[in-house]
Amino acid sequence: MDRLIDRIQRRDRARNQHNNKAILPQPIDNHPIKQEAKQMCPHCNDAGYLRVDVPFGHPDFGKPVPCHCHVDLIKQKKQQKLIHASGLNTLERFRHASFHTYNPFLQGVHEAYTHAFEFANQPTGWLALIGEYGCGKTHLAVSIAKKQLEAGKLVVFQIVPRLLDDLRATFSQR
């Protein structure tokens, strides 16, 4: 059995060495749109994952490990899933909302901006945003949610009328 595993591991190493020496097609100089040849990852050959070289029976045997070239793509996909799950992608009018686009120098909102910014960096407990229509409560809430999404945290953002509609839908008319 050990001989078989050694033979398979040697074969895999030989394949990897051979595949790393693959010649990439060169761009055609006289073509109107010159395309660059994409460099293949020398570690995983653009598969995105590697196998750990451990003996049969080891807990990590056969488990795929993300290659360093694939980690950023995994993070981007996770970020997109978090954004979709949060509900923020349904608010087109707040697509550009962030702490950078909020004007904290408007009368009466600087304190709210300061508290919201501090809360976004270290969320503990609750933060209630109270104010009149149009003072920027939703903008600050979206900014906090985006900051948490950037940190990789799960966020659910819901506007009160839609939240109430969802809650009403859970009650059945028996």
pLDDT, position 7: 62
Locate the domains of the chain by residue range: 1-9+39-66, 73-170
Separation of alpha carbons 128 and 28, rounded Å: 61
Q: Considering the chain, what is the average pLDDT of its residues? A: 77
pLDDT (average), residues 154-160? 80
pTM: 0.54
Burial of 41: CB neighbours in 10 Å, binned 0-12, 13-18, 19+: middle
pLDDT, position 120: 92
103: left (phi over 0), alpha (psi -120 to 50) or beta: beta
Containing 64, the helix (H) or strand (E) segment is strand 64-66
Lowest mean pLDDT among 19-23, 55-59, 96-100, 134-138: 19-23
Containing 45, the helix (H) or strand (E) segment is none
Q: Dihedral angle at the C-alpha atoms of 41, 45, 51, 54, nearest 10 degrees? A: -80
Please indicate whether residue 24 or residue 147 has the higher confidence score (pLDDT).
147
pLDDT, position 34: 45
Q: How confident is residue 117, by pLDDT bands cut at 50, 70 and 90?
A: very high
Top-ranked range on mean pLDDT: pick from 11-20, 34-43, 118-127: 118-127
Token pair for 10: 């040697």
Q: Confirm if 112 and 136 have CB atoms less than 8 A apart.
A: yes
62: left (phi over 0), alpha (psi -120 to 50) or beta: left
